[in-house]
Amino acid sequence: MTGRRRLSVKKKKKTTKPRAKKTAKAKAATDLLVVESPTKTKTLKKFLGRKYKIMATKGHIIDLPKSKLGVDVENDFDPNYMVIRGKKKVIDEIAKEAKKSGKVYLAPDPDREGEAIAYHLHSRLSGVNDNIYRVTYNELTKTAVKKALDEAGPIDDDKVMAQQARRILDRLVGYKISPILWKTVLRGLSAGRVQSVALKILCAREDEIDKFEPEEYWKVKAELLSGEKNKFNAMLHKIDGEDFKIGSEKESDQVCGEIRQQEFAISSVKKEKKKRNPYPPFITSTMQQDASNRLRFAPQKTMYVAQQLYEGIDLGKAGSVGLITYMRTDSVRLSNEALGMARNFIKERFGDKYLPDSPRVYKSRKSSQEAHEAIRPTSLEYHPDEIKQFLSRDQYRLYNLIYSRFVASQMVPSIYDNISVEIEAGKYLFRVSTSQLAFDGFQRVYKISNGNGKNGDDESQVLPELEEGQKVKLEELFPTQHFTKPPPRFSEASLVRELEQNGIGRPSTYAQIIYTLKNRKYVNTEKRALIPTELGRTVNGILKEHFSHIFNIEFTAHMEDELDKIEEGRDKWVDVLREFYAPLSDTLDEIEPKLKEIKAQTQEETDEVCEKCGSPMVIKWGRNGKFLACSAYPECKNTKPLNGENGIEELDRDCPKCGNKLVLRSGRFGRFIACSTYPDCDYTEAVSTGVKCPREGCEGELVERRTRRGKIFYGCSKYPKCDYAVWNKPVKKECPSCGHYFMLEKNTKKDGLHFKCPECNFVEKVEEEETAERLENAVK
């Protein structure tokens, strides 16, 4: 081959034209860069130019099969990987391009999942191109990407094995334990290695709330007068130097009577300046928490919007720009370049008094991946207000939050003037504490709710000048009755914090965990609180009783640590799986003979008798909630809706036909809205999905309907004026590919639960969701 090349060069010395053509052809040779998401390609093309051909895998290309377990538990958990349906064409197109490319750079996301995608693609390209490299970058900027290409190297096998271990762990739980649930409760339910622990946490809190008995207590506030006009308030703090509890109105009256006989004098005045340091820049969990608290974003929405900001936003003349660094991270580390950028910005924008003497360095958790950076803007040049016209409302709000948090993290502390005053009245000691902002510091850009105050009642008042030994006059006492409150329910933000603090899950999983719990109807959201449903508590009860060692907070956190050890090369993936599977296998063997007994425990006996065969009716779980069924099933298949509060839900709407209240009922073919006076009034209407009809000019909504044979479909509420209809349920979920305002929820045997865009046909799969049909096939 070398000889032929030299020979051809010698022949070309006679003329320059052929040589010019050959040189042009060599220069035209391109390298191939393969990313995970197609939306990144526009941003990358802007600064990589024609030298690189950019293609996307559109997520994973290879996975365990859907129709069976796909793991040989008898042979060191050997996985049986298969090409995902629809991805053969993607692989073939990438292979075709790789064959004619100089070098191939694999650039899926810089995490375990991305490493696995790179690994599987590399295995498919071996022999096609020998120059294959792995590149990782934390931001879509010209500097970061070109540096990554210069430092391209091999695939991290340890990281791949950690992903493989995680995937097999989740598959074992999904395919081994979920069938227990649909055999004993309801088909289609699922258990998840991390999901079920999150459910356990929610149910444990709900149990605490149910068992809680409020206790009465009283607070006493004194209105005091200093001088002639200066009034201020103080709370009763100690009695005889001890903490106290006033448990009744009678006790309160007695205490207040004694206090009124006392003289009041200032016993202590303490003034101090207190610093409040800025928060670290965002990691995934803190971004989700802050976005939930400040913006009312669900974790999944936060990640969706952050993904858009990371992959690139079209900023007009500037083109497509990746505005933030990679959004799945548990590291608060900032690069030297980022620190310099922040310090220059603070000095220029706010002056030296807002700039600390040296950069602030924050410590990450022990298990965090320090190769990643915190979530931050890629450049402070793009101020949120200056590019607002190019951003959607959600993009602007989240980007502004990330931008402000990053800048604030490198600013000086806020300073508060704290005053604490104690007032003696015999054996009674009153206290008032105030905290006033003296210097805003980092709060110039990132506001917080208050200073450091622990007593919200006193913090806001401005105290008059007071001195120790000074006499003050009691103007009035205000005793108030209170009752102890149960522990609060978890919000999405506080659940993420709880999972993180317990070492359960990782940055990339929090949003999916909460989404799955809601999607499975294991929890409902009410006033931003996550409340376990009766179904969720039933499922948790079974898992808690029979799989307590598997769905255990400490054990789950331990398994997460083991996955980290695999990634660090300190543990073998097969050993970790053996440790997990041994107790699981034993429990599955023990539980198999008990399935009928467990199922009986999930059913409720009633006094009602089956009108068809005379057997007792029992309450069972169905797709649409509880219903009555004959206990002689399968000999007698009589069923009917469950009357009472479990079967009918009153709505805050009046019947347009008779004026009485409307109710939500459950029938054989699902839910429907009907008049509460049925059968006197036979008004009914379909349940709306809340999705506006997409047909141009139509003002209707897509509602649940049934064919003559009872099959559910979704059509326009303006029918027959508008005949738009679809078989699959429309869901208010923006398409990640084209931005269409709704997607269709589908559940097929081959693809499982997924969402499909009716506009561009983009498919988004729901991770770790295994349908009942697949589970049944796996067991068979």
In the 3-class helix/strand/coil scheme, how is 598-654 assigned residue by residue? Answer: HHHHHCEEEEEECCCCCCEEEEEEECCEEEEEECCCCCCCCEEECCCCCCEEEEEEE
Is 518 in contact with 769 (CB distance < 8 Å)?
A: no
Report the relative pairing of strands 52-56 and 62-63 from DSSP bridges.
unpaired
Distance CA 100, CA 105 (A): 14
Is 58 in contact with 84 (CB distance < 8 Å)?
A: no
Question: By C-alpha distance, which of 407, 431, 419, 429 is closest to 280?
Answer: 407
Beta bridge partners of 702: 716
Distance CA 779, CA 770 (A): 13
Six token digits for residue 189: 């339910």
**Please, what sign has the CA dihedral across residues 111, 114, 118, 124?**
positive
Residue 33's region, left for phi above 0, alpha for psi from -120 to 50, else beta, is beta
Distances (CA, A) of 759 to 85, 684, 698: 21, 32, 17
Outline where 376-465 has alpha helix (H).
Answer: 393-409, 456-459
Residue 200's φ and ψ, nearest 5 degrees, are -60, -40
- Annotated active-site residue 326? The verdict is yes
Torsion of CA 564, 568, 569, 575, to 10 degrees: 0
From 133, 137, 175, 326, the catalytic residue: 326
Residue 721 per-residue DSSP state: T
Distance CA 545, CA 377 (A): 47
Residue 432's φ and ψ, nearest 5 degrees, are -135, 135
Is 504 in contact with 557 (CB distance < 8 Å)?
A: yes
Is 301 in contact with 731 (CB distance < 8 Å)?
A: no
Residue 691's φ and ψ, nearest 5 degrees, are -100, 125
Distance CA 478, CA 456 (A): 17
What does the longest C-alpha to C-alpha distance in the chain come to? Answer: 120
Distance CA 83, CA 90 (A): 10
Residue 184's φ and ψ, nearest 5 degrees, are -105, -25
Name 24's Cβ contacts closer than 8 Å, sequence gap at least 6: none
Residue with tokens 């290695």: 193
Helix, strand or coil for residue 714? strand
What is the distance between the terminal CA atoms of the chain, rounded to a whole angstrom?
56
Beta strands in 634-769 (DSSP E): 639-641, 648-654, 661-667, 670-675, 684-685, 688-692, 701-706, 712-716, 725-726, 729-731, 743-748, 752-756, 763-765
Residue 471 per-residue DSSP state: E
**Please, what sign has the CA dihedral across residues 524, 529, 530, 532?**
negative
Distance CA 522, CA 543 (A): 13
Residue 734 CB-half CA count within 13 A:
12
Residues 477-505 as b/e (b if ≥16 CB within 10 A, e otherwise) read: bebeeeeeeeeebbbbbbbbbbbbebbbb
Residue 328 C-alpha from the chain's centroid: 11
Q: What angle do CA 773, 779, 780 make, to 5 degrees?
A: 90
Catalytic annotation, residues = 326
